[in-house]
Amino acid sequence: MVPSPKGFRFAAAKAGFKHEGRYDLGLILAERPASAGGVFTTNLFKAAPVQQCIETLCTLRESRALLVNSGQANACTGDEGRVNCRLTLEMAAELAGCELVEVLPASTGVIGQHLKLDKWRAALPRLKESLGEVGPVEVAKAIMTTDSFPKLAWRSLSVNGQEVRILGLAKGAGMICPNMATMLGFVLTDARVEPEAWRRMVSRAADRSFNRVTVDGDTSTNDCLIGLAGGASGVSLDENDEAFMDALEDVCQSLAYMIVEDAEGGTKVMRVTVVGAGDNSQAEWAARAVGNSPLVKTALFGRDANWGRIVAALGRSGAQFDPDRVSVAIGGITIFDRGRPMDGDLDAVLAPLMRKQDVHINVSLGDGPGEYMLLASDLTHEYVSINADYRT
C-alpha cells in the first residue's frame, strides 16, 4: 500500500476517453486549501490546462484539487479548448465542494483533440463515488498513455518526533525532453510550507530531477509539475530544512529515473556526467548533446561502446573546451584520454558493462568548475514502431 500524506483523498474513474475499461480520469483533493506551486512547459504551444494553471497560480497561492486526465491533451485547441477546460473545472469543483479557481487541471494525450465533454459528464458520478475509496495508484494509472507501469515514489521523515510524508506521481515515456518538468507530475506533502517558499522548492526539485532527463529530444505542449503542501501533519517547514528538501528531491529524482527507464521501446538508462567545463551551462550543453544524439542512443541499444559518436557530439555541443584535454569513460573504464583513444582492445572489457540496463558515461572537458548530470534512454526499433502507429 502506498503511504499517502495526511489530508489528501483520491478519486479515479474509467471514462473511456480513448480506451474502454481503463482509468483515465483522476482527482486529488486536499481537505483544506494547500500551498500550490508548479512549473510548466516552455513550449510556445501551451495546452489549455497549462494556460489555465499558469493564470490561476499567478493570482492565487493556494489550491484544493488537481484534476487530471489522459486520452485528450486539449492542446492546440484554441478558445474552445480553454472554454472546455473551464467546464471540466466547474464539474470537478462541484464534486469537490470548492471554487472553480481552486482546481488545477492537467491533461495528456494526442495533440489537437478536444475534450469529450459528454464522457466527462457521464464519468463524474463514478469519480465522485470513488473519492476516498481509491488511492494514488489508481490516479497514477489514470494519467498513463504509452507508459508500461504507473510511476509513484514516496518518502517520510521525522521532524521533532512527528512524521512528515511526501508522495509523487508522474507519467511519461515519450515526447520527453523537459525544459521545466515532465509530461505530468504531481508532488504532495502534509508539511505546512508557506506558498512562496513551496514554489521555490518545487522549482528547485524540478531542476535537479525532471529537467535532467531526455528520451527523444521533444518537449511536450502539456508538461507540468504541480505541488501541493497541505499542512495536515501540523509540521511547519521551509527550504532551509535540508532533510525535507533532500527527501523532496529524492522523490522527484526517483520518478525522473522511472520515466527514462520506461522510455518508449527503451532498454537502457544512460547516465551522462560531465565535469571540468567552463561553467554549469556548458557542461549541460555537452551532456545534452550526448544524451540526445541518435547515433549515441542507437549505439547504446546495440551495446556498442562507440566513443567516436560521444566525442563528436561533445564537439558540436556549443561548449568551449580544448579537445586535447577531453577524457571519456564508460562504466568507470577510460576509453578516450587527452584527446586520444586508449590503447588495446577495450570492447571485450566493456561488453559486460554495455549489457547492463544502467550505463554510466563520464566526460571530463578540462579543469573548469562546470558540471552536469543527465539521464537519457537509448533509441530502439520499438520506439519507431510505437510512434509511427501512435494515432492508428
Catalytically active residues, by annotation: 182
Kindly report the number of other CB atoms within 10 A of residue 226's CB atom. Answer: 25
Helix 307-315 to helix 294-301 angle (10° resolution) is 160
Consecutive H or E run containing 286: helix 280-292
The dihedrals phi and psi of 157, each to the nearest 5 degrees, come to: -145, 155
Rounded CA gap, 125 and 15, in Å?
A: 11
Q: What is the CA radius of gyration of the chain?
A: 22
For the chain, how many helices (H) and strands (E)? 11, 15
Q: How far apart are CA 364 and CA 335, in angstroms?
A: 12
Instruction: In whole angstroms, give the CA distance from residue 384 to residue 229.
Output: 40
Distance, C-alpha 123 to centroid of its chain: 27
> Do the Cβ atoms of 368 and 279 come closer than 8 Å?
yes
Give every CB contact of residue 52 below 8 A, 6+ residues apart in sequence. 82, 85, 86, 89, 104, 105
Residue 334 to residues 103, 222, 252, 274: CA-CA distances in angstroms?
52, 40, 31, 14
Q: Are strands 358-364 and 368-377 parallel, antiparallel or unpaired?
A: unpaired
Whole-angstrom distance, CA of residue 257 vs CA of residue 215: 11
- What are the backbone dihedrals phi and psi of residue 337, each rounded to the nearest 5 degrees, phi first? -140, 130
DSSP alpha helix (H) spans, 143-184: none
Alpha carbons 350 and 235: distance in angstroms, whole number: 50
- 112 three-class SS: coil
Using CA atoms, how far apart are residues 35 and 28, in angstroms rounded to an integer? 14
